[in-house]
């Protein structure tokens, strides 16, 4: 470790997105996650790091894997967990969300994990409550833990244990315009040195994304041979308001990752997908379940990454100005 690296101190009480984190912050989370990875394979799958603490899942949008992953991650850190699912429209207005969070906080909560269809809600809560806030997906804005687990999986599968992604071409394919997963990945991957290619129809991948420093492509076949990692996004029908492409069948033909397309890519290309998968649309089953796929590994890694995030944000609550833990 260099002298500079050894001076690094994590100081973020909240995780709202990757846009405002540094490469060092991101690598520190990923390295902390590595320390937690082994917990899931022990016979007793728990460590006492958050014993006596309370983590609340405040989900205003449907979710299976993210919610259960946060729940399990908190349990493995020995925290008490509470699931507060607020689906329905009466709670979706800004002020009420804050009130809900304040009420929950009054029960003595240490970390609130929030998902909301509106961008900016986690930020709003972080400004309104005293406990830590973790963003589990806000509108089309950010989904930082998904991008972190994607990058963790890349480090593992591509044998880059220092999470330096220089020289890698990472393609994010599909519905970029509506994707918080894409935005968090763009910020994170670029900070770690990767070149990001955004691929999809012009309606879902507008040229404006070039301003973020990404390559924008509307022809997947033209870039196939350059790709080291293909992150295939779900077409988010629930967010698309106008017709973004002629038909589902045409989308699958032009942008779906099929076996013949995979055969034209680098032999060891890594195929990822945040789930839930529309099999046969953005990815063919043979590819999703094949040897290049890291999809289930991503889910498994999500646990270690979320354990690291909960542990770090909670610890930062008790940090003094010197970066020492006061608790
Ligand atoms: C993503 C989400 O909800 O943003 N999924 C997830 O977190 N597992 C992506 C998606 O819904 O397509």
Q: Please give the average per-residue pLDDT across 297-306, as a whole number.
A: 97
What does the pLDDT read at residue 249? Answer: 87
CA of 167 to the centre of ligand 1 (A): 27
**Which protein residue's CA is at the shortest distance from atom 12 of ligand 1?**
234
Structure tokens at 300: 């498994």
Neighbours of 94 (CB within 10 A): 12
CA of 182 to the centre of ligand 1 (A): 10
Q: How far apart are the first and last CA of the chain?
A: 27
Structure tokens at 22: 């540094």
What is the CB < 6 Å shell around ligand 1?
65-66, 137, 143, 146, 180-181, 234, 236, 274-275
CA of 2 to the centre of ligand 1 (A): 37
**DSSP characters over 215-268:** EEES-HHHHGGG-SEEEEPPP-TTT--S--SS-HHHHHHHH-B-HHHHHTS-TT
Q: Which atom of ligand 1 is nearest to the CA of 233?
A: 12
What does the pLDDT read at residue 89? Answer: 42
Structure tokens at 36: 């937690």
Q: Please give the average per-residue pLDDT across 261-281, as a whole number.
A: 96
What does the pLDDT read at residue 92? Answer: 54
Q: How far apart are CA 145 and CA 284, in angstroms?
A: 26
pLDDT band (50, 70, 90) for residue 227 = very high
Q: Which atom of ligand 1 is nearest to the CA of 181?
A: 4
Q: Quick check: bond before 242 cis, omega within 30?
A: no
CA of 300 to the centre of ligand 1 (A): 15
pTM of the model: 0.93
- Give me the count of residues in the chain: 327
Mean pLDDT score across all residues of the chain = 92
pLDDT band (50, 70, 90) for residue 244 = confident
What does the pLDDT read at residue 172? Answer: 98
CA-to-CA dists, residue 238 to 140, 179, 243, angstroms: 12, 11, 12
- Domains of the chain are 8-142+300-315 (3.40.50.1370), 144-298 (3.40.50.1370)
**Better pLDDT: 63 or 172:** 172
How many percent of the chain have pLDDT more than 70?
92
Q: Please give the average per-residue pLDDT across 194-215, as a whole number.
A: 96
- Nearest-10 Cα torsion for 6, 11, 17, 18: -20
């Amino acid at each position: 470790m260099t002298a500079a690296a050894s001076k690094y101190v994590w100081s973020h009480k909240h995780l709202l997105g990757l846009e405002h984190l540094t490469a060092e912050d991101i690598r520190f989370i990923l390295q902390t996650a590595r320390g937690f990875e082994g917990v899931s394979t022990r016979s007793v799958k728990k460590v006492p790091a958050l014993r006596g603490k309370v983590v609340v899942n405040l989900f205003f949008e449907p979710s299976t894997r993210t919610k259960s992953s946060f729940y399990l991650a908190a349990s493995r850190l020995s925290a008490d967990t509470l699931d507060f699912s607020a689906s329905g429209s009466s709670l979706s207005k800004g002020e009420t969300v804050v009130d809900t969070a304040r009420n929950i906080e009054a029960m003595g909560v240490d970390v609130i994990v929030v998902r909301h269809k509106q961008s900016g809600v986690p930020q709003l809560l972080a400004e309104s409550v005293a406990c830590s806030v973790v963003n589990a997906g806000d509108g089309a804005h950010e989904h930082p833990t998904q991008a972190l687990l994607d990058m963790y999986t890349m480090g593992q599968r591509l044998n880059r244990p220092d999470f330096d992604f220089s020289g890698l071409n990472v393609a994010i394919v599909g519905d970029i315009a509506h994707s918080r997963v894409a935005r968090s990945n763009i910020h994170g991957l670029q900070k770690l040195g990767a070149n990001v290619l955004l691929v999809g129809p012009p309606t879902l991948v507008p040229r404006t994304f070039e301003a973020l420093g990404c390559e924008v492509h509307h022809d997947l076949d033209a870039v196939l041979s350059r790709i080291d990692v293909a992150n295939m996004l779900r077409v988010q029908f629930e967010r698309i308001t106008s017709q973004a492409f002629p038909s589902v069948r045409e989308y699958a033909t032009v942008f779906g990752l099929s076996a013949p397309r995979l055969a034209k890519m680098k032999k060891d290309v890594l195929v990822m997908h945040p789930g839930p998968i529309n099999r046969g649309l953005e990815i063919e089953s043979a590819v999703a379940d094949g040897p290049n796929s890291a999809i289930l590994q991503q889910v498994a890694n999500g646990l270690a990454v979320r354990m690291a995030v909960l542990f770090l944000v909670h610890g930062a609550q008790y940090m003094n100005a010197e970066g020492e833990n006061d608790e």
